[in-house]
Structure 1
Amino acid sequence: MLILKQKGELVVNKRKILIIVNFIMGVCFLVLLFSILFYKYIPSILKGSYFLYQLHTYFGIIFFILAFFHIYLNWAWIKKNLFKY
Structure 2
Amino acid sequence: MNPADKKQQANTLRLQALALLEQATAIDGLKPYRVTHANGFGTAEYLGGFDHEPSAEEAAAFFELNFEPDRDEVLTIRLTSWEAILGIKKL
What TM-score comes out, normalization by structure 2 length?
Answer: 0.32
Which has the larger share of strand?
Answer: 2
- Using CA pairs below 8 Å that are at least 6 residues apart, which structure has the higher relative contact order? 2
Which has the larger share of helix?
Answer: 1
